[in-house]
Structure 1
Amino acid sequence: MTHCLNGACHCGAIGLELTLPRPPEEEVVGACQCSFCRKHNARTVSDPRAQARLVVHEPAELQRYRFGLEASEVVLCRRCGVYVAMLMTEAGKAWSTINIDALDERARFTRPAEPRDFSGEALEGRRERRIARWTPTKLVGWPKE
């Protein structure tokens, strides 16, 4: 049985849909220890068996931010400032880890967030880990770079 969850940034310019293979109460919640995620007190979820869709309703409000090794980009709303997801694209494919606090049913993620620190990871290992562990993602209404 799959579990479909919806969400968006605060103003609705960037929407998201997440289909999980198990109930949110059973999902492992992560707490990345990078400075960006710590400053946002982010709690994230990723599952390679899940599916995500990031839907840009208002392309002018999409803000993408890269830092560190620039292996991925943060998806933010320019208007309301909400951090929606971390996204990695490669060879026409996309993977993400979703900020569960952007989901409408965020309270269903009841497991304590597990701290994760990947600061010592090399760029190639980081990409391989994300492809193996992050959620396959479809980008809808995404502006061309």
Structure 2
Amino acid sequence: MMHRLDGGCHCGAIALELSLPRPPEEEVIGACQCSFCRKHNARTVSDPKAQARLILRQPSQLQRYRFGLGASEVVLCHRCGVYIAMLMTEGGKAWTTINIDVLDGRARFTRSAEPRDFGGEVLEERHERRKARWTPTELVGWPEESG
């Protein structure tokens, strides 16, 4: 049984659908230790057995940000500033780790966030880990160059 959660940014320009294989109460929550995630106090979830859909309702409001090794891009809403997810694309496929605080059912994620520090990874290791551990994601209404 999949557990469906919806969410998105504050203004509604970017929507999110997430289907998890476990109830949110059982999902492992991450707390990346990079400076971007710490400044946002982000708590994230990713599961290779889950499925996500990122839906651009207003493509002009998509804001992307890359830093560090540039292995992925941060998905933000240009209008309301909400941090939605980290996104990695390769070969027409996409993977994300989702900021659980954008989900309508965020209160159901009750486990403590586990600190994660990937600062020592080289680019190739980072790509392989993300493909193995992040959530496969469908990009709906996305500009061609990202998907």
Q: TM-score, normalised by structure 1?
A: 0.99
**C-alpha separation in 2, matches of 1:96 and 1:138:** 10
Unaligned ranges ≥5, structure 1: none
Query: Aligned residue for 2:111?
Result: 111
Query: Aligned residue for 1:48?
Result: 48
Pairs within 5 Å for 1:82-93: 82-93=82-93
Deviations, residues 67-91 of structure 1 (Å, cap 9, x unaligned): 0000000000000000000000000
Give 1:27's aligned amino acid: E
Query: Aligned residue for 1:2?
Result: 2
**C-alpha separation in 2, matches of 1:119 and 1:58:** 34
**C-alpha separation in 1, matches of 2:89 and 2:143:** 14
Query: Aligned residue for 1:97?
Result: 97
Query: Aligned residue for 1:73?
Result: 73
Residue-pair matches, total: 145
What value does the CA root-mean-square deviation take over the aligned residues? 0.5
Give 2:34's aligned amino acid: C
Give the ranges of 4+ consecutive aligned residues of structure 1 lying more than 6 Å apart after TM superposition. none
Unaligned ranges ≥5, structure 2: none
Query: Aligned residue for 1:27?
Result: 27
